[in-house]
A = this chain, B = another copy of it.
Amino acid sequence: MSYHKIDEQDYTYFQSVLKRENLLYGPEIQEDYSHDELSGTNAYPELLIRPETTEEVSLIMRYAWKKEIPVVVRGAGTGLVGSSVAIYGGIMLDMIRMNKILELDEDNLTVTVQPGVLLMDLAEYALSHQFFYPPDPGEKSATIGGNISTNAGGMRAVKYGVTRDYVLGLTVVLPDGNIQNLGGKIVKNSSGYDLKNLIIGSEGTLAVITEAILKLIPCPAHSISLLIPFGTMEDALHVVPLILKARTVPTALEYMSRQTILFSEEYLGKTFPDTGSDAYLLLTFDGSSPKQVQTEYEKAADLCLENKARDVYLVDTPERKDSVWNARGSFLEAIKASTTDMDECDVVVPRNKTAEYFTYIHSIARTLHMRIPSFGHAGDGNLHIYLCRDDMETELWQKSMQEAFRLMYQKAQEFGGQVSGEHGIGSAKKRFLLESLGDTQIQLMKGIKSVFDPKNIMNPGKIL
């Protein structure tokens, strides 16, 4: 692909229509904007723009369209697969200035936000108005725009679903600068092809999201977590389908190994309530009354104790909650800190296959002599697996990593799973997406991409 390189004339144009303080050109662009959190992809945009309004985004896209300049949208840069890296240079839209919560509509239970709002800020805002925004990805400093672009899932997907389930409407700017509203403050829609759901999860390759109408729900008044130790990973994961079948609906159902917890203890410098067992489940239950929550968690606790759980710890004090959930939230960073380099895989498999899948991962680790720590959203079959380089030499690391990925994605497919549960494809997982979905689906996706973006200027080189 050959794109127009940004020159002084382009820069002069943008200076004439945008505030100077919202433009960073060439060497003004900091190193931080050349990569994301993990993918290993490195490239600088030629011009970084911080738009303030939908209209500014439209104006920028119209110019980029005319001149054939690639455009990459960046939220907080917390992605893991390279989606927000400007691998073809061009313009980076940094959405940091579009970070306003525009409206809380209590009648329709919606909140309208700009894409640069951080997940943690939205969650807190909702709570402060006694509402609840359920999606809860581990990375709280990600933006909502980023969450929508990868259809982020998180811990509470077991009961409440993923980001997609909370996006009622989107304002988007198409590659040619055209502004469109998709969906709205409505909860049913059967009016033509679902363009909104096509944009969700498209990693900035089809359009720029400039506003989102999100669904809120009443805040559950009570919640409690249980930390449950087991002798082995198999014992812990064996009980997961039993809990889900037992007509209890946990909000979250996470699996973690002692090894991962120890990394986190070291990383945070804080002790976890218990590290005496090899495997743990962390469950949360919420509801409108303490009695309701108690009925549910007791049922789950009994089930665990009947199925080889060694104990059940109630996580019911603020201190314990912080200790357990902070640890859970730090796993990625903690594992990263434990090694020299790493890459990750976030396959999703049917929930009753997680134990078998982890066993397979352990066998890969042995075969390839690689440390592969993992944890998982056991309640929804979305597993987070980390390949650690440690002291491997470059060539061996590259070779072993590729082989591990190949085996892992192949096995996920064999189990009826998919390449990514919530992190997306970006540039890092393209090959595996092709292998998993096959040529027909990739061709359909390429066709859709061409319909939205015939000049291929929106985040080129990603997903497809």
Query: Hey, which bits of chain A sit against chain B, CB under 8 A?
Result: 105-109, 130, 150-153, 157-158, 161-162, 164-165, 174, 178, 180, 182-195, 197-198, 200-202, 206, 217-219, 221, 241, 244-245, 247-249, 287-289, 291-292, 295-296, 348-352, 377, 380-382, 416-425, 433, 436-438, 440-442, 444-445, 447-452, 463-464
Contacts and interface: CB of A to CB of B under 8 A. Distances in A.
A421 B190 contact: yes
Contact of A191 (B108, B184, B292, B425): B425
Nearest to A151: B190
Nearest to A153: B188
A191 B351 contact: no
Nearest to A220: B247
A188 B421 contact: yes
Given A195-B444, A291-B291, A186 B352 contact: no
Nearest to A418: B191
A170 to B, nearest CB: 12
Nearest to A184: B416
A193 B418 contact: no
B178 A440 contact: yes
Total identical chains: 2
Nearest to A179: B440
Contact of A192 (B189, B248, B289, B441): B441
Given A217-B249, A291-B291, A441-B180, A422 B108 contact: no
A108 B353 CA distance: 9
A351 B424 contact: no
A109 B245 contact: yes
A278 B365 CA distance: 71
A133 B436 CA distance: 30
A184 B352 CA distance: 13
Nearest to A381: B186
Given A184-B417, A187-B348, 9 more contacts: A186-B348, A188-B377, A188-B381, A189-B418, A189-B420, A189-B421, A192-B437, A192-B441, A193-B206
28 contacts: A107-B244, A107-B245, A150-B190, A151-B190, A152-B190, A153-B188, A157-B187, A162-B187, A178-B440, A180-B441, A184-B417, A184-B418, A186-B381, A187-B380, A187-B381, A188-B381, A188-B422, A190-B420, A193-B201, A198-B198, A217-B249, A218-B248, A221-B247, A288-B296, A291-B292, A292-B292, A447-B448, A448-B448
A442 B241 CA distance: 44
B197 A197 contact: yes
B192 A425 contact: yes
B193 A463 contact: yes
Contacts of A436: 191
Given A180-B440, A421-B186, A444-B452, A351 B192 contact: no
A185 B109 contact: no
Nearest to A382: B188
A402 B185 CA distance: 27
Contact of A186 (B182, B349, B450): B349
A425 B438 CA distance: 32
A295 B164 CA distance: 31
A444 B198 CA distance: 11
Contacts of A153: 188, 190
For the complex of A and B, 9 pairs with smallest distance between CB atoms: A447-B451, A218-B247, A107-B352, A188-B421, A197-B197, A107-B241, A185-B350, A153-B188, A191-B418
Residue in A150, A151, A193, A247 whose Cβ sees the most chain B Cβ within 10 Å:
A193
Residue in A186, A192, A440 whose Cβ sees the most chain B Cβ within 10 Å:
A192
Given A186-B350, A247-B130, A288-B296, A433 B191 contact: yes
Contacts of A106: 241, 245
A184 to B, nearest CB: 5
Contacts of A351: 107-108, 185, 187
B165 A249 contact: no
Contacts of A195: 441, 444-445
A259 to B, nearest CB: 24
Nearest to A165: B165
Contacts of A187: 157-158, 161-162, 348, 351, 380-382
